[in-house]
Structure 1
Amino acid sequence: MTEALRNRTAPALRVAAIGLVLWGGAMAAPAAAQDGSLFAPRMVINGQTITNFEVEQRMLFLRALRAPGDPEKEAIKALMRDRLGAQAAEDAGITVTAEQVSEGLEEFASRANMTAEQFTAALADEGVAPETFRDFVANGLLWREVVRSKFGPQIRISEAQIDRALAENAKKTQIRILLSELILPIQGDDVTPALDQARAIKAEAAGDGFAAAAREFSAAPSAARGGRLDWLEVTNLPPAIVSQVLTLSPGEVSDPIVVPQAVVLFQLNGISDVESAMPAQVEVEYAQFALPPNLDPATIRAQVDGCGDLYPLARGLPPEQLRLTTQMMGAVPQDIGLELAKLDVGEFVLRQRAGYTELLMLCLRTGVPETDPAAAAQVPVTTEEAEAVEGEEAEATPLVDREALRNRLGNAQLTAMAEAYMEELRSEAIIEER
């Protein structure tokens, strides 16, 4: 998949990862290596087989979508969920039509601004069979229908629950985390050697061993400090990385996280929270400048205080060498988001790309707060609007959509019920690993 297609595909992954409960190779495949046959059983769930080929295909699918975590672990976990969900659908007499699956393919692909045909072709460039994408969507639709049928009638959100949620939104907790990082670069297109090395380091680098491993193996500038980073606000980090590290206990090391051109391990050193007015989301503007060979980084440090100072340095160069991007943090590629989280506005880091050095600078970081109900009476109006209502009481425009909030709370309840049900199915299943 080209880099452009990778970037367009990343948002689909983030949505799929967040909503996986309701939705549901070339990478070397350790699964296939176990007995030499791609179509040999890797796992049997209630008598139904998951083959090595399916595991390899799901690994390739997750890799193409830049999924966080260990690809093999995540592939096996996702396929297990698929089987259990499909079995629950069969028991309940629930099916989906070919038309529903086609619509699901189009809807999923649209999240990456593609048609289903374009998305399937982009996946094929990564070795992912069309059936793998279709099965992923079909199983997700089946599970969604199972959850809706079983739990949908139970969801009732009262006005009091909405009021409590609005009150809680006014008391956001600011969470900061203290991390150490270990970054292993990927050589070429084969991620397997770096993944294997990361797994070996994780197995041996508990406690203080992580710092020693970071000094020895990490390619990040933080290696000299044993990988230790300063305190980071979680809202400034990519959500996929946050979801990985917030599940850790102090001293614990994350599963390997595959990001563009690297595999990353994190160790959680500390976590703190303070009640404060926190933005619900963060928007960032950042610059990527492919430095010409004759431009000394020391000169840049002396002359550049912000992104606007990069334009004179890029004068006469092809336009694509200097790119400014504005995105919500959830849409920023994970490798870039991790670097931006460490920077203040106007600071930059130099990154080695394929054949050139890239300057990555944070231009602006903006908090996007949740709607404040108290501000409803303070909506600014234009002069024309003011004249139109002169002598009359202006009708207040509510800034809080209570029905939208009701839907969000209902979806949260549905997700929690679905997770509990999936855990129940897993605990009752007969699972054989080969």
Structure 2
Amino acid sequence: MSAPRVLVIGGKSGIVRKAAALGFEVVHVQKPSAFDPAVVEHCTQLLLVDYQDVSLVTALVRALHERQPFVRVFTQAEAAQAVAGHLTDVLGTPGNGARTTRLMHDKPALRALLNECGTGAVPVLVRPSLVELRDFVQMHGGAVLKPTMGSGSLGVRLITSPDQTDEAWAWRERFGLDEFMVEQLLVGEELSVETFSVAGRHEIVAVTGKETGGGVVEVGHVVPAALSKRAHGAVCDTVRELLDAVGFVDGPAHTELILTADGPRVVESHSRRGGDRINELVRLVHGVDLEETCYRLAEGGNPLPSVPAADGAAAIRFLVAEPGVVTSVTGTAEAAAAPGVIDVDVQVELGDTVHDLRWSEDRCGYVMARAEDTATAVRLAREAAARIVIRTAPAEDATARAPDVTLAHLLDEVDEVLDPFTAAGGVSSGGAAA
């Protein structure tokens, strides 16, 4: 018998390699701009097309499926989540369909559903006027202004007091953020919950602690989060309620929450494993690789009947630097040799431009550490990261702080659109090409 044939959309070569290593026949769809030659040896077929061109990718995948059917459609790329759900429906394969993936991609739709279900209601306005925004901030004391879709803290702005409202509105207009929403500013510990579902049954794999340094971009994660038993139970119950509400069926999910004084409140959720190398933290602590486990759904049965208890803790600390042109990077070797450190990755070099911390893509690398407990893992990662010094000088053309950088510019840099169905022309997120 031939090996199960799976469709893998987007992702780096290492993700595709994991599918091939399990013996699957892999058909990989990747944007030409993201092509990595290392992926070729892991694929039976490689389609270099824009998978966010929904009409095109639907026609191609349907034709391939008619000749040799796919067992499952997989993706771990945020930009491909809604497309994967659409293709799952089109092909009639098992998994999370268009309704589920759309709800987890469309933030106003998810918030409306959760508020309707009573799962941690949060006040929200979608595309308010300036007057409405002023009134909202005045009523709630603060707000978060953000795009209706996206990830990586892209386009997220905190309004911590009423006197910041007009400035935030002006920034939104300069940034070109037309499709936006505002929610009540939630205060509390930031967390994410990593889950794995099989046939609608949701297993809590890990709860991740987060640090933002008072901003919106995450600068650190740790597994497991330091929570009381009661708080842990409340957080997990909230996530299960969310997954039931959206009709989540199979695979990993990554749900971000804030543990407020009134209980857990969902920030957003994604139908994929967590980014920022959270998958690696989970693997180190619980022995579960959510990317690999997801592919095993194609074998049938339950690939994760139970989750091993935590073995110690693991933390990641991201590197940041002042905006400008990189003039020196020191301390990398010292950080790698520091106690508990298991990985160091400096992603800038001499001559590179460091930007303001606008979103996750602007971080400069990371340090990962492992220890016997959460507090120690966080401390070791932070201390090792502090050994790495990235010095910069002001850019001559001031591009590091260019006021005309817009949402469209940043999306162009990564060759993505927030909503492929809006750009598709005649394709519905709930079905096939028209």
- TM-score (structure 1 length as normaliser): 0.28
* Larger strand fraction of residues: 2
Question: Highest relative contact order (Cα 8 Å, sep 6+), 1 or 2?
Answer: 1
- Higher-Rg member (1/2): 1
